[in-house]
Structure 1
Amino acid sequence: MAIERREKRSPTTLAPGITLAGWPNPYMRPLAYNPKYALNAICPYFTMFPLEYPLRVLRKHRKDAPVVIDPFCGRGTTLFAARAMGLKSWGIDASPVAVAIARAKLSNATADEALSLAGFLVAGVRPAHTPNSKFFRKAFHKNTLRGICALREGLSAGLQDTDASVLLRAAVLGCLHGPLLKSGLASYFSNQMPRTFAPKPDYALKFWSARHMEPPEVDVLKVLERKLKLIASSRELQKARFTNVIHGDSTVAASLPKKRDYSLVVTSPPYYGMRTYVQDQWLRNWFLGGPATVDYAAGVQLEHTGTDVFAESLGKVWKNMARTEADTLDLYVRFGVIPSAKVDAKELVERSLEAANSGLRVLSWRNGLSATSGKRQADQMKADSGACDEFDFHIVRH
């Protein structure tokens, strides 16, 4: 499959911090620091793409009032961008952690409503189970862990979710682990950890022991208040439905929304060769009701046993996207591979489109930003990680 043309970069500015090519303006502050978009930062996530990317795409199509879908929605950046621009959106993800965070982007609750619920649960729930492994004893102060477990059990009690519970759950995930601040002001519940992923227990214990680090005793409600009050300054967003985020597998047609009216796909599939999405989020998965240990057997949504298998698996997603009833379909895909995989990302995307056999073709592509750009905080625990080579594709159905 031949690629027809490559987009040219232009310095023309569309909005503060955004250029026509979607690259951040080096002279402008990134949107991640803009209080208007604080809700999008409620929980940092591994390999998240910057808000500038979906906003650039949506501005291009806004006049057509498209329904947006992200089949690998992750922490919901595309969904938040669509909501900020007054567009309806759908999201699908196989990870319960991703779904919990993404649903918060479509919550209609206020910070006060979420805080009120947090106070009720911390005061009213006596945890039946509190992990007592060496990791948990060193990761959290016992009093802090008790509050976390009260929230965990209260939010997992089988009650129907509300806008407030959805927002609170994501806020807890965002506060669950992160760096210790030199100021002493606690923004996270844990001993020293990265914000976007949880280190494995053995590594973390060695790290803390070598530096004589003990978990701080923090007030869970005060930390949550600081987190949630930040979003109070977010601009008014249109009403949305958090149920538009589906916990499912995008390779399976049954995971698609019943009303297939979407015409614009903005997504970033799991990068080829990156198999640790589930394990990197093990601690957040525990909070959502998962095991208190790393599940190394847990798989990922796409098959990574070889490029042919991966292309076939990704092709199933594109085929499902092409099932839309809309007259037109545009797909904007940010994709990459880890350096050790030694695979041509552009060729792999083309092969996945051929596997889909759904009349999809690459209209244009360009080199995207490195995956190290503002996306990981591995330096906080000196974790080794290689940057992915990223490419942005515009794919259309003909």
Structure 2
Amino acid sequence: MKEKMSRALAYEPRYALNAICPYFTMFPLEYPMRVLQKHKKSSPIVMDPFCGRGTTLFAARALGLVSRGLDTSPVAVAIAQAKLCNVQSEAALALAQAYIKANDSVAVPQTEFFKHAFSAQVLKAICAIRQGLLTTKRESDEVILLRAAMLGCLHGPTSKRQENQSYFSNQMPRTFASKPDYSVRYWNEKNLKAPNSNVVDVLWRKLQRLSIAPGPVKSSPSHASLGDSRRAASLPASSRDFSVVVTSPPYYGMRTYVEDQWLRNWFLGGPERIEYGNPEQLEHAGKDVFAKSLGLVWKNMARTEADSLDMYIRFGIIPSAKVDAKALMLDSLEESRVGWKLVHTREAETAASGKRQANHMTTGSTAALEYDFHVRRK
């Protein structure tokens, strides 16, 4: 049976914090909310070993539950940490203004991409805030919130009206950064110019919607951390207290998560160009290799010291992979060498958001086929 829920929760003001930064292949808030509602009475600690932009963590926050998350992407962790911070919108905005003033002489990238992607005024302000965030010695709530808001505003579709501008960049997708050479060609062919927006005004439009978010309960931004969930070291004894896992591993066949976030990675201190290859991603050299790699994650999750463990997994494949998603997931569970009981499997709604975002720059994309699994440690 397909999931019937709409994406309506994304538009409720009290859940605006969850939309602080769009992220490729994100699952809708309804999925972890529905799952965690079933466990709420027992007040479980929630874990997401592929936390991405922190949707599971935010759902736990909204329901008053403690949560933890891991991801190998610094971009993902920066966004997820904001889902566990106390919202300090005015303080974050004031911090942005202070950084712009303090870093007036900051150097800016000189590549063709950056010259076309942002107006000179906007790029200077972005780099000033970037410099301030990179050199701060205090990871306060306003620092964490500002960092995630900047990532969320960094690139996206342009608006015809300046007062409605929600992104800093020339026309781009909002969930991933298109490649530099392609972007420059596209902008030149379409004669598109980067908007000369006021960075603080764009930030204000995003931040002023976040203040009514529910407060975090016994969770802190440090509960979302950088780590490879296949490795035992990423799960120290102090973190092995969860009894519910809600997660969505990378799509099988999707190898470019890190590369697709290259511009946000630059904002976090990375290079001005795309760097290919990431040894900390799941291995995609074939379905058997992928199953073994993913099996290490399930084995690590089973190390929790909680009396029971329920795992809810939304798993998909890209259509070109031509692999049976259900069989591949079951193989990964078997590879973990943990006794799992399969409670249910069902088809999820198709992940069409990636296609909608790709349409902003007319790139090709097809919705992925996804399934929801519920397994329980025996």
TM-score by length of 2: 0.96
Q: Could you say which residue in structure 1 is the equivalent of 2:230? A: 251
Aligned to 1:364, the other structure's residue is in SS state: strand
Which blocks of at least 5 consecutive residues in structure 1 are unaligned?
Answer: 1-8, 10-20
**Distance (whole Å) between structure 1 residues aligned to residue 39 and residue 214 of structure 2:** 22
**Aligned 8 A contact 1:108 1:239 in 2:** no
Detail structure 1 runs of 4+ shifted over 4 Å in the superposition.
373-376
Corresponding residue to 1:221 among 200, 209, 216:
200
Deviation at 1:374, TM superposition (A): 7.4
Q: For 1:176 and 1:94, locate their aligned partners in 2 and report how far apart those are by CA, in whole Å.
A: 21
Q: Answer yes or no: is the 8 Å Cα contact 1:328–1:397 preserved in 2.
A: yes
The residue type paired with residue 47 of structure 1 is T
2: CA distance, partners of 1:148 / 1:353? 44
Q: How many residue pairs get matched?
A: 376
Distance 1:50 1:375 in 2: 15
- The residue number in structure 2 matching 1:3 is none
SS of match in other structure, 1:58: helix
Distance of 2:53 and 2:355 partners within structure 1: 12
Which secondary structure state, in structure 2, belongs to the residue aligned with residue 365 of structure 1? strand
1:176 and 2:154 aligned: yes
Matching residue's letter, 2:264:
R
Matched, 1:146 2:146: no
Change (3 A) 1:222 1:239: farther
Please point out which of 289, 299, 304 is paired with 2:269.
289
Determine if the alignment matches structure 1 residue 31 to structure 2 residue 16: no
Q: Does 1:270 align with 2:233?
A: no
Structure 2 match to 1:112: 90
Contact persistence 1:90–1:257 (CA under 8 A): no
For residues 246-395 of structure 1, the aligned pairs below 5 Å read 246-259=225-238, 260-299=240-279, 301-373=281-353, 376-395=356-375
1:75 to 2:53 alignment: yes
- Give the counterpart letter for 2:61 in structure 1: R
Higher deviation after alignment, 229-238 or 385-394: 229-238
CA contact (8 A) 2:25 2:354 kept: no
Give the alignment partner of residue 64 of structure 2, picking from 81, 86, 104. Answer: 86
Contact 2:355 2:367 in 1 (8 A): no
Query: Could you report, residue by residue, the CA deviation over 1:279-318 in whole angstroms, capped at 9, with x for unpaired residues?
Result: 1100000000000001123455100001111000000000
* Separation of aligned partners in 1, 2:261 and 2:33: 26
Given that residues 60 and 67 in structure 2 are in contact (C-alpha distance below 8 angstroms), is that contact kept between their aligned partners in structure 1? yes
Point out the structure with the larger helix share.
2
Structure 1 residue 160: deviation in Å?
A: 2.9
SS in 1 for 2:242: coil
SS for the counterpart of 2:126 is: helix
Q: Which residue number in structure 2 is paired with residue 16 of structure 1?
A: none
One-letter code aligned to 2:322: K
Give the alignment partner of residue 240 of structure 1, picking from 198, 214, 219. Answer: 219
CA distance in 1, matches of 2:280, 2:358: 22
Runs of at least 5 residues in structure 2 that lack an aligned partner in the other structure: none
Q: How much does 1:183 deviate?
A: 2.8
User: How far is the alpha carbon of 1:381 from its aligned partner?
Assistant: 0.4
Q: In 2, Cα distance between the equivalents of 1:198 and 1:207? A: 13
Does the CA-based 8 Å contact 1:66-1:262 persist in structure 2? yes
Residues 228 and 280, structure 2, Cα contact 8 Å, conserved in 1: no
Instruction: Pick from 32, 40, 50 the counterpart of residue 18 of structure 2.
Output: 40
In 2 relative to 1, CA 233–43 (structure 1 residues): closer, same or farther, beyond 3 Å? same
Decide whether aligned partners of structure 1 residues 319 and 89 sit closer, same or farther in structure 2, where only a CA change above 3 A counts: same
Please state whether the residue corresponding to 2:281 is helix, strand or coil: coil
Q: Deviations over 1:41-94 (max 9, x none)?
A: 000000000000000000011111100000000000000000110000000000
Return the offset for 1:145.
Answer: 0.4
Aligned CA distance change for structure 1 residues 127 and 265 (closer, same or farther; 3 Å): farther
Equivalent position amino acid for 2:344 in 1: S
Q: Is the 8 A contact 1:252 1:320 kept in 2?
A: yes
Residue 125 in 1 paired to residue 103 in 2?
Answer: yes
Contact 2:99 2:129 (C-alpha < 8 Å) held by counterparts = yes
Per-residue CA distance 1:101-149 (angstroms, 9 max, x = gap): 0000001132111111111111112354310101100000011100000
The answer (yes or no) to whether the contact 2:61–2:215 under 8 Å persists in 1 is no
Instruction: State how far apart, in whole Å, the 1-side matches of 2:120 and 2:258 are.
Output: 26
Alignment-derived partner of residue 133 in structure 2: 155
Aligned to 2:81: 103
Check the 8 A contact 2:3/2:349 in 1, yes or no: no
